[in-house]
Amino acid sequence: MKNKFLLYILAGSMAITGCKKDFLVQEPLASFTNEDFWTSESSVRAFAQGYYPDRFSGFGVNDLGGSYSVRETLNDDYTNINLSGFAAQPTVNGGSWDTYFSKIRKDNIFIENVSKMKFSDTATYKHWNGIARFFRGFDYASFVFDFGDVPFYNKPLTDNDPLLFKPRDPATVVMDSVLADLNYASQNVKLTDPLTGPNGLVITKDVVNAFMSRLLLYVGTKLKYDPAKTAADKNKAAGYLQAAKDAAARVINSGRFSVADNYQKLCSTIDISATATVSKEMILYRRYNTGEVTHAIESGNNANTIQGYAAPKDVIDAYLCTNGMPIKTTNGVNPQYQGDQSVTSQLANRDLRLANTFRTDRYYLQYIETGYSTTGYKCWKFLDEPTQNDATSVQSFNITDAPIIRLGEVMLNYIEAAAELADMGQYTVLQNDLDITINALRKRTGYATASRLPDMKIIGGLPAVGTTVYEDADRDPTVPSLIWEIRRERRLELLYEGFRLRDLKRWRKLDYANTELYPKKNLGAWVTKNATTKGLILADINGNVTSAANVTTGSGYLKVSQTLRNAANGNVLDRNYFDCVPTYQVDFYQRNGSALTQNPGW
């Protein structure tokens, strides 16, 4: 009835005004035109804030979205009964290709309109132009990472612009423009922007530099390891890696941030702004609050929650022993490693981040625990223990704040960029490089000195502890020893924070997710079965079943999925290093007299 009533009013209004004006083509009296909107700094500020939820999603909203690995289960940090894989069929239409163009059009509209405005002073204009160019650099770097060569536009286009059917530009051409945008932003975005919000919640110079270190490391390494790229492309990649290292150094050397005292609280603090021991590491984070915006990440770590996606044995084995060496080196088994036949032995004498990420009191086994893990290793990294029984810790009512980018990541971006440049003959990694990054992370003040990992040393370009050079017995032989150890630090420091899949793609190591090649990626804890746990399936270290379901005896590692994730089933293929260009777009270009190339394998 209400809808009918409104229709009658509308019809009457049209009858009254129809003789004077075409009612349907008039601008609403309360709306903005483009010219009306871009008239004040407050309007620019509101436009910029519209970017935040999408570009910096954090833990997402309710049960949806988010950039953390609990939303990214296709990587080797997880296993599951049903192993996820890449899409088997090409993208027909839409997808992230279209989304990127929408984002970049918005970026260009932002830049174009800011350039036409009058601000109170030049510094304020440069600040907002820097913010707008930061977002364009952010979006184009991500676009290149996902698709490689992409059409580059530095202005908004009209519906009939012939440039709409422009072919793909080389990735390095696009990235040169990205680097120019990010350099401009780094030089001109302000250190603080109190009218927009407090530091940590808004874009500042430090945020720009932190993201420069991430984005340029991502694309620089992906270009470096792409076998299709030329020597000239790889020389460009070195330039992006150098810029990533320099940007990270600006953040590290600023003195405005320091390593948080407690590793576990980085991802499980309800109010980061009120927690100085955590906030000092945060460069940008997302705030959550009941009645405003909430998420569901913490709920997955609650005591009674089943963790269907869980850490395989491969992750647990990656943690160093307290003497700073792997569980097994080329010289033999580490004397501090006590084996994997019980939770006490497997998790003893290890990097303290292990106990800050996983429960170490027992294995959380199906048929024994309500909140079991499919591998027995129960993650609690995202759980705020003091409030775990509150209403805010269940379902999608979680209010813990989400790190978006923090000093720990920037340190790892720095040392990885340095090592990759060294591998290209363009830098020499020094002890100080390790001391201001990996070794600084190992010295969290919340860790007792006696329990911390010792400093990583570098001797002759190789990792060492004290005066002893070591090599992981499980090292991928195609990865230099120092880079292998830096990648280990990155994996464990940033575990489940949304990095692993992109890391595997840019290192060209998607085969690590192949459980046929790497059986430990699909194994869990060592279990001796009984009548209660007879439903479990156990295997040896190579994944061969040693005790089938419903057999009451036997010992072995939990075998989570009975189906391999390998090249034969299409889940681990070279084509997956780049996304599929929608086939409709390829056809649409052709029908308009142009050509849009497809990525290899699609």
HEC string of 67-107 equals: CCHHHCCCCCCCECCCCCCCCCCCCCCCHHHHHHHHHHHHH
Sign for the CA dihedral angle at 291, 293, 297, 298 comes to: negative
Average pLDDT over residues 153-171: 94
pLDDT grade for 306, boundaries at 50, 70 and 90: very high
Give residue 33's pLDDT.
73
Burial class (CB in 10 A: 0-12, 13-18, 19+), 490: buried
Give the residues across from 472 on adjacent strands. Answer: 329
Q: pLDDT tens-digit profile of 82-130?
A: 998 888 899 999 999 999 999 999 999 999 999 999 999 999 999 999 9
> Quick one: tokens of 501?
């899949």
pLDDT grade for 28, boundaries at 50, 70 and 90: low
Q: Can you tell me the distance from the alpha carbon of 254 to that of 235, in angstroms, rounded to the nearest whole number?
A: 29
Asked whether the beta carbons of 269 and 400 are under 8 A apart, the reply is yes
Burial class (CB in 10 A: 0-12, 13-18, 19+), 85: middle
- Under DSSP, the state recorded for 392 is G
Give residue 84's pLDDT.
84
Residue 15 has pLDDT above 70, yes or no: no
Give residue 70's pLDDT.
67
Task: Please provide the average confidence, as pLDDT, over all residues in the chain.
Answer: 93
Containing 279, the helix (H) or strand (E) segment is helix 276-279
Longest dimension (CA), the chain: 93
Average pLDDT over residues 391-420: 98
Q: Can you tell me the distance from the alpha carbon of 140 to that of 240, in angstroms, rounded to the nearest whole number?
A: 14
Q: Pick the most confident of 1-10, 21-30, 448-457.
A: 448-457
Residue 18 has pLDDT above 70, yes or no: no
Asked whether the beta carbons of 65 and 71 are under 8 A apart, the reply is yes
Residue 21 has pLDDT above 60, yes or no: no
Give residue 3's pLDDT.
38
Give residue 232's pLDDT.
97
In terms of pLDDT, which residue wins out, 34 or 46?
Answer: 46
Quote the percentage of the chain above a pLDDT of 90: 88
Q: Which of 364, 360, 317, 362 is nearest to 339 (CA)?
A: 317
Asked whether the beta carbons of 525 and 535 are under 8 A apart, the reply is no
Q: pLDDT tens-digit profile of 485-538?
A: 999 999 999 999 999 999 999 999 999 999 999 999 999 999 999 999 999 999
In terms of pLDDT, which residue wins out, 324 or 84?
Answer: 324
Asked whether the beta carbons of 173 and 145 are under 8 A apart, the reply is no
